[in-house]
Amino acid sequence: MNQQSYLSTKAIATNERLIFALDVESNEAAKALVERLGDSVTFYKVGLELFMAGAYFEIVDWLLARNKKVFVDLKFFDVPQTVASAVSRLRNKGVEFATVHGNDAILKAASEAKGETLKILAVTVLTSLDRGDLEDLGFQCDPKELVLSRAKRALQLGCDGVISSGLEAPALRESLDHKLLVITPGIRPVANDDDQKRTVNVEQAFRNGADYIVVGRPIKLAENPHDAAMAIQHDISRIFADG
């Protein structure tokens, strides 16, 4: 764990700092899992798997009708005008966040199209990638350098936050203070053997500067998902109470 604490200073309700990745095969499965999780989760990330299942906005509207917060994680990446048009379709949907992947022109177009309430999150480096993967993609740098470079550009271009591993979050806070929201996926309470490579646990993520964490499989695959989510919520409450 980083010795210095970069604990978030933003006015965010503690129970909203946990975002559950609702990655399931159908809207029916999603609704069943949300009902099972009950009051243990307030904020949901709805991504590509449910998008490809069809009736994407049905599940988004269903969540919003139940006073849940929604994060649209579709990582928009296309020519700037197309991305701007896609983002503009979300402005009046009531969702909190949308992810955008791409160069300066794409991020700028998304930021200009977001409206008053939607927040644009720039994807920096996926937590499933390590330095070897970046070299395969043609990037001759380590993940921290690339994350910091992309985050600085995202801030200048009008983005509200970034998706960043907890390993790189301290560098973001040291360089950019708390100007950007930092949303950290790849949370693993224990050692993992899945496709996530740059992982941290709940306390490391928040001490390193995350404003929100995204957790999926550790909750979804638990024997009791509600209890698993509540355990994380209790950890988050303790971390912010301790300061």
Rounded mean pLDDT, 15-23:
97
| Residue 189: pLDDT over 80 | no
Give the domains, in start order, of the chain with CATH numbers.
14-242 (3.20.20.70)
**Lowest mean pLDDT: which of 63-72, 144-153, 173-182?**
144-153
**Lowest mean pLDDT: which of 58-67, 158-167, 218-227?**
158-167
Q: State both tokens at 88.
A: 């503009």
> 126 pLDDT band (50/70/90 cuts)?
low
pLDDT confidence of residue 1: 40
> 194 pLDDT band (50/70/90 cuts)?
very low
pTM score of the predicted model:
0.89
Give the residue among 66, 58, 57 at the shortest CA–CA distance from 34: 66
Catalytic annotation present for 69: no
What is the 3-state secondary structure of 82-107?
HHHHHHHCCCCCCCCEEEECCCHHHH
Strands 43-46 and 69-76: parallel
> Cα–Cα distance between 226 and 19 in angstroms, integer?
14
pLDDT confidence of residue 132: 55
Tokens 């177009």 belong to residue: 109
Catalytic-labelled residue, pool 10, 31, 75, 152? 75
